[in-house]
Structure 1
Amino acid sequence: MTSTTAIPLADPALAERLTDRLALVEERLRDAVAHADALADTASRHLVNAGGKRLRPMLTLLTAELGDGARREVLDAAVVVELTHLATLYHDDVMDSAPLRRGAPSAHEVWGNSVAILTGDLLFARASSTVAGLGPEAVRIQSATFERLCLGQLHETVGPRPDEDPVEHYLQVLADKTASLIATSARLGAMFAGCPPHVVATVTAFGERIGVAFQLADDVIDLTSDGSVTGKTPGTDLREGVPTMPALLLRARAAGPDATDEDHAALALLDADLSGDEALAAAVAALAEHPVVELTRQRAVALAHAAAAELAPLPDGPVKDALVAFADLLVDRAS
C-alpha cells in the first residue's frame, strides 16, 4: 500500500497523481505565506516548515478525482483549506498554552502570544485572498466554515451550559472545530472538479463524520502514545483544563451511583495541580489505564464506520477505496 500522507492510497496511479499534485500545493502554500515583512515571513513559514500530514489538502485532491481533478481551481481550494487549518493552529496553541506543535516549538513560545495570534490572522487573510479567486460560492462556504471554527473554539472555551450534557457539548465542539474544515476540504474538491451535487453532498457528509472520529482517535492517542507520535506534549489539554472525551466520561462515571474507587482516584489525579511534570504524568497514566479510554475508542470506531457507510452512493473504484481505507486507518490509530 502506497501512502505519502494520512490517507492510504493503494492504487499506484492514483498515488502518483496525488503525490505530484500535493507537491504543487506545497509550492503554492509556501508562496502564499511569503511576506515582504521579515517577521511576518518568518512567523508565517514556521508551521509550514514544520511539515504535517496535509490531510485536508489531500482530501481535497482525492475527492476531486471523482471528477476532473486536474483543474486549477482544485489546487487553489487545497491551498485554501490548509492555510485555514494552519491559521487555526496558531490561535489554538495560544489558547491551549501548547509548548509544541508538529514536534517544533509553538509560535507563541518563539515570538509570544501577540505575534502568534496576528500571524494566524495573516494566514486567514491569505486564505481569504485565495478563495476570492474561486468565486462567490466558495467564499460563502469558506465564511460559513470559518464561523463554525470560531464557534467551536468559543464553546470549548466557555464550556457547556448548566442544562447541557457535557459529552454532547463536546461532540458539537468537535463537529465545529475539527469536522467543519475536513468536510469543507472534501466538499471543495468534489465541487471544483465538476462533480454532481449528490456526490458533493456525499463526500461532505463523510467529512463531517470522519472529522469527529479523527479527533476522538486523537483523544485516545494523546493519552496512550508519547510525544514523538503526536508531535505535542502528552496531556497538554489536561494541564490547561481543556476537556477531552476520556476526561468527560470519567467525570460522569465518578458522579454516578456506580462510581468505583478507581474512578475517584483517577479523578483526584485529574483535578490536582498539573503544572508539574510529575503530576501531569501521573494523571495521564491513570486516565490511560482507565476504561473510559476504551469507551472513547469505541465511539471513534463507531463514527469511522458510520463515515464509511456514507460513501455507499459513490461509484466503486480507487477513490472510494481510499476514503474507506482512511476510515479504517482511524480505527487502527485508535486501537
Structure 2
Amino acid sequence: MKPRTPVVRRSPSVTSQLGLSERIFATAADRGLAANIDQGIEEVEASLIAELVYANDIANATSRYLFNAGGKRVRPMLALLTAHLGDGAVPEVVTAAGAIELTHLASLYHDDVMDDADKRRGVPSAQAVWGNSIAILTGDLLFARASQLMARLGERAIRLQAATFERLVMGQFRETVGPRAEEDPVEHYIGVLGDKTGSLIAAAAQAGIVFSNAPAEYEQPVVSFGEKIGVAFQLIDDVLDLSPQPKETGKVPGTDLRAGVATLPLLRLRERARTNDADAALLARLERDVMASNSVATEAADSAITALREHPVTAETLAEAHSWARDAVAALSPLPTGPVKKALTRFADTIVERSS
C-alpha cells in the first residue's frame, strides 16, 4: 500500500457519525480500520476542496455551496470500506471516491431545481439563492469535474462513471414521465430508486473493490449490497420527508410531495384508496392541498401531511426499508468474515436507523 500524507481529523469522526461505533470497532484491528477510513475521508475532502476551483468567481462559490453545507459522505465512506478487502485506501480509491461524491453533489443541484426545493442540508437550496439557471450550470460543472477525475484512472473508471451517470439520468427521466399504463406504480417507483440512488451507492462499493485490487469475486456481492441499501436509504428518505423536524432533516416537511413526487407512502395510500373511503378522502386532500398547490405553508397542506405521517402506510414504508436493508446484508455472504463485513452490516443498520 502506498504511504499517505497525514491529515487533520474532524471531530466527531465520520465513522462515529455514521454509527460505526465502539461496539463494532471493538478490537485493535477494527479500530485501525475506523481510523484509516476517517483519514481516507479527510483525504477525499481535501482533494475535493482542491478540485472545486474554477476561473469564474460565481462558479467557485456555487460549486462549494452544498459541499460546505455538510453531508454524511456515505458514498466515499462505502468506497473506503470495501477497499479494505484489497489494498486499502490507496490514492486511486481516494480519487474514485471523490469523483463519486462530486457526482452525487451534482445530482442534488439538479434534483432541487426539478423538485423546486427550498432547502437542502439545512440551508436554502442553490436555486433559491442564485436561480434555476445557475443551479443547473453548477450541477453540470460538477458532473464534468467528476468525469475528469475518473478519466485519470483509466478506461475502467470511465466506463463505470458513464454507466452510472446514464442510470442516474434515466432514473430521473422515468420518475418525471411516470409509469406506463400497464406498469405497477410501486414496481416502477422501486426501479426509479434503484437507478437514482442505488446505482451511485453501488458504484461507490464497486469502486472500492476495483481500485484497491481486491479479489474480483467480491465485486458482485458489494454491488448487490449497494443497490439494495440504496433503495432502503431512499425509502427512509420517504419517511423523513414527512418528518415534523425540519432542523434534523434539513427539509421542509413534505418537500417531495409538495413538488408532486409520489413517494412510497402516497403510492401505498393510492392502493388502499381503491377500496377504503377514508383513505380515498385523505388521498384527495393530499392531491388537492399539497401536490396540486406546491405550497409550503398552508394549514390544509400541513394537516394533510401530518395525517399521512400518522397513517399505517408510513409505518409500512419503514418496514419495507428494513426489509431491503436485510437483503443487502444477506448479499454480503460471500465476503470473508472480518471487520469490513462487520462494518458493512452496521452501515446497513445505520442507514435505516437514521433521523436525517
Contact 2:241 2:256 in 1 (8 A): no
Question: What whole-Å deviation, never above 9, does each CA across 1:18-54 have from its counterpart, x for those lacking one?
Answer: 1111111101111111112101100101011101000
The Cα shift of 1:93 comes to 0.2
Provide the residue aligned with 1:285 in structure 2: 306
Q: Which amino acid aligns with 2:325?
A: A
Contact 2:243 2:249 in 1 (8 A): no
Q: Which amino acid aligns with 1:305?
A: R
Q: Which moved more, 1:108-117 or 1:6-15?
A: 6-15
1:182 counterpart = 2:198: no
Q: Separation in 2 of the partners of 1:173 and 1:51?
A: 26
Provide the residue aligned with 1:307 in structure 2: 328
The Cα shift of 1:270 comes to 0.6
Q: Which amino acid aligns with 2:288?
A: A
Q: Which moved more, 1:274-283 or 1:322-331?
A: 274-283
Q: Separation in 1 of the partners of 2:346 and 2:320?
A: 18
SS at match of 2:82: helix
Equivalent residues in 2 for 1:47-66, closer than 5 Å: 47-66=66-85
2:140 aligned to 121, 127, 132, which one?
121
Provide the residue aligned with 2:114 in structure 1: 95
Gaps of 5+ in 2: 1-11, 26-30
Provide the residue aligned with 1:270 in structure 2: 286
Contact 2:80 2:97 in 1 (8 A): yes
Equivalent residues in 2 for 1:243-254, closer than 5 Å: 243-254=262-273
Provide the residue aligned with 2:212 in structure 1: 193
Q: Separation in 2 of the partners of 1:174 and 1:36?
A: 36
Gaps of 5+ in 1: none
1:108 counterpart = 2:96: no
Q: Separation in 1 of the partners of 2:19 and 2:174?
A: 30
SS at match of 1:208: helix
The Cα shift of 1:141 comes to 0.9
1:212 counterpart = 2:231: yes
1:6 aligned to 18, 43, 52, which one?
18
1:297 counterpart = 2:318: yes
1:137 counterpart = 2:156: yes
Contact 1:7 1:322 in 2 (8 A): no
Question: Could you say if the C-alpha distance between residues 131 and 222 of structure 1 is closer, same or farther in structure 2, counting changes exceeding 3 Å?
Answer: same
Q: Separation in 2 of the partners of 1:122 and 1:327?
A: 31
Q: Which amino acid aligns with 1:307?
A: A
Q: Separation in 2 of the partners of 1:49 and 1:252?
A: 41
Q: Separation in 2 of the partners of 1:164 and 1:299?
A: 20
The Cα shift of 1:171 comes to 0.3
Q: Which amino acid aligns with 1:111?
A: W
Q: Separation in 2 of the partners of 1:333 and 1:105?
A: 22
The Cα shift of 1:69 comes to 1.0
Q: Which amino acid aligns with 1:294?
A: A
The Cα shift of 1:177 comes to 0.4
2:345 aligned to 301, 324, 329, which one?
324
Question: Could you say if the C-alpha distance between residues 315 and 155 of structure 1 is closer, same or farther in structure 2, counting changes exceeding 3 Å?
Answer: same
SS at match of 2:183: coil
The Cα shift of 1:287 comes to 0.3
Q: Which moved more, 1:217-226 or 1:36-45?
A: 217-226
The Cα shift of 1:260 comes to 4.1
Superposition TM-score, scaled by structure 1 size: 0.95
Q: Separation in 2 of the partners of 1:224 and 1:232?
A: 9
The Cα shift of 1:330 comes to 3.0
Percent identical: 55
Q: Which amino acid aligns with 2:306?
A: A
Q: Separation in 2 of the partners of 1:324 and 1:297?
A: 18
Contact 1:301 1:330 in 2 (8 A): no
Question: What whole-Å deviation, never above 9, does each CA across 1:90-117 have from its counterpart, x for those lacking one?
Answer: 0000000000000011110011000000
Q: Which runs of 4+ in 1 moved over 4 A?
A: none
Question: What whole-Å deviation, never above 9, does each CA across 1:143-202 have from its counterpart, x for those lacking one?
Answer: 000000000001111111111111011000000000000000000011111011111111
Contact 1:269 1:282 in 2 (8 A): no
Q: Separation in 2 of the partners of 1:76 and 1:21?
A: 10
The Cα shift of 1:217 comes to 1.1
How many residues matched?
Answer: 331
Q: Which amino acid aligns with 2:73?
A: R
Q: Which amino acid aligns with 2:136?
A: I
> What is the root-mean-square deviation in Å for CA atoms of aligned residues?
1.5
Q: Separation in 2 of the partners of 1:246 and 1:206?
A: 24
